[in-house]
Structure 1
């Protein structure tokens, strides 16, 4: 895969379309949770430089949510993108949590973000809640529109999500307020229901289609392919373990179990023996399935954003997938991309 274009600039990232919506996304997208202080505080200048580095690396798909840093992610991402031509990038945000003023003081670390507790989150998957959430997001972003809106983690609100929130998103799409709709979750069962039982354009599946977890192959990915819907894959590093497997690494936001750490270390040894960083293999693996349109990667620094793009662009020969299969580290039926990605 080429890594540079004319004049030494990075080669353009592949662009795919979400379902039948016509909404384009670069194969590598930027997840804006980390720049809102996920796990540790990130300053304004560092956050802006991180988004700038992602842009310079060719990324043109950006994802955020009110949940991330109590609105801080949306404010920072909107500010960083405001000077860019609006038609030159795709932006997604989420609904399902309303932010309400809170005067309890202290820090809101319960959900992993190192930000002052100026607001609290309240679940709301009603039609009115969807509209209010999107309006508030546009205000924080300082933009007149987003391209894709996703129902965010409706795990415990399944009936209301399907009966109220989803129809509200359909109405917003019909009115032209948004161009594409879907849902984003860390599980596959409900996402599979969304792609088969509704007219969503795309779903965001986090952590369930990685080198360590291919559970999305059971229901979600086949259903999406059959229905002509797109899947955006998040959490390809399973919150850290596949990025840097070592004692103390995290898996799905908690300490990695010993058996998974040992498996990740074996994966690293197998890929590095062929000159391929495990990060590169983890980023490219999801594209073996035709339903996958993009992979989202979070970054908290310009260096991390640049590294993600470099790892995505790096060559991953077919021998890597073969080596993982030979070591029983990848199921025989898991589809893998060709060496060209």
Structure 2
């Protein structure tokens, strides 16, 4: 049985994380408003339940997530938790980011910047919003269209921050596995944050990335385990990767749900625990927008999942 609040070492670093971490994107008003009081109450409840890994980013609510989580975490013993944030976007007044998934106005717009100066500025501004002196894990955030500059400037800047003791781990967070694989091959990453590509619906991360990480001792943080909601509540109209799911994906999620029911396992529990069946995966991030969702995530992470579930899903053609 998984202990979701067990603290484990992140790869070969000195950073320790709980098996279940709290993703703070929803607290920036993802899709629908959350509000500052609910957001801070969510972080506090996660702490009370034993979660000690918190993941945020400047992009999340265009600064709102960091501003809301920071005051709660600033009141906790700093060595008792791990915090990750991200670099690669600067928040600047005006403009239109083209991202309309944030329901609460922030007055700023994210602008990509993977220059060395840009990532150092981003990190400093994140710490200012958070009211904290450091992040334990710093992720390069979505460098999809900026690979050359990321390798030439951003990655060396993060390595220098690690060497100076300003961060504990260098990482990259993306919704794709191919470029993360290339970044791992540079030899500079301690971890990767893989979103949505090692789930019950998409195991493409297992092709190259996860075996490579296991071989090199690079920790994998699995995020997006519900694929934006479809694996939490499979039904027509549910989201898959931030957009309404196609009918064939809904049917597939419902079929997985039926196999889980035969084993007496909630689909949400299977979705949270599946990534941890791979030895490269250290921990799982689950987003929550209120205390009840945090409580549900902790409960689902602790469900006793029969070992026979996974081969049954494979025999039905529902897992690779």
TM-score (norm 1): 0.91
Aligned residues of 1:30 and 1:296 also touching (Cα < 8 A): yes
Q: Which residue of 2 aligns with 1:43?
A: 35
Q: Distance in 2 between matches of 1:328 and 1:16?
A: 33
Distance in 2 separating the partners of 1:12 and 1:318 = 17
Contact 1:270 1:324 (8 Å CA) reproduced: yes
Once the two structures are TM-superposed, the CA of residue 67 in structure 1 deviates from its matched residue by 0.4
Q: How does 1:7-18 map to 2 (within 5 A)?
A: 13-18=5-10
Per the TM alignment, residue 108 of structure 1 is displaced from its structure 2 partner at its CA by 7.3
The counterpart of 2:73, out of the listed 70, 81, 93, is 81
Alignment of 1:59-208 (within 5 A): 59-102=51-94, 110-208=99-197
Structure-2 residue corresponding to 1:33: 25
2-side partners of 1:42 and 1:316: how far apart?
A: 32
**Deviation (angstroms), 1:14:** 2.1
Shift in Å at residue 31 of structure 1?
0.4
Deviations 1:65-103 (A, max 9, x none): 00001111011110111111011100000000001122x
Matched-pair contact (CA < 8 Å) for 1:90–1:147? yes
Unaligned runs of 5+ in 2: none
1:18 Cα offset (Å): 1.7
* Matched residue, 1:242: 231
Cα separation, 2, equivalents of 1:276 and 1:212: 17
From 2, 15, 19, the counterpart of 1:23: 15
State TM-score, norm by structure 2.
0.97
For residue 322 of structure 1, report the CA deviation from its aligned partner.
2.7
* Aligned equivalent of 1:58: 50
Contact in 1 for aligned 2:64/2:106 (Cα 8 Å): no
Question: Within 2, Cα distance between the matches of 1:44 and 1:73?
Answer: 9
RMSD value, Cα: 1.4
Which 4+ residue blocks in structure 1 deviate beyond 6 angstroms?
A: none
Q: CA deviation at 1:44?
A: 1.4
**1:268–1:278 CA contact under 8 A, matched in 2:** yes
Could you tell me whether the CA contact under 8 Å between 1:108 and 1:116 is conserved in 2?
no
Assess, with a 3 A threshold, how the Cα gap between structure 1 residues 12 and 233 changes in structure 2: closer, same or farther.
Answer: closer
Give the aligned length: 320
Q: Distance in 2 between matches of 1:189 and 1:110?
A: 24
SS in 2 for 1:315: coil
- In structure 2, the residue matched to 1:292 is 281
> What is the distance in 1 between the residues matched to 2:49 and 2:200?
24
Q: Deviations over 1:218-248 (max 9, x none)?
A: 1100110111110101000000000000111
1:315 to 292, 304, 317: 304
Do 1:18 and 1:25's aligned partners in 2 also have CA atoms closer than 8 Å?
A: yes
1:232–1:294 CA contact under 8 A, matched in 2: yes
Alignment match, 2:249: 260
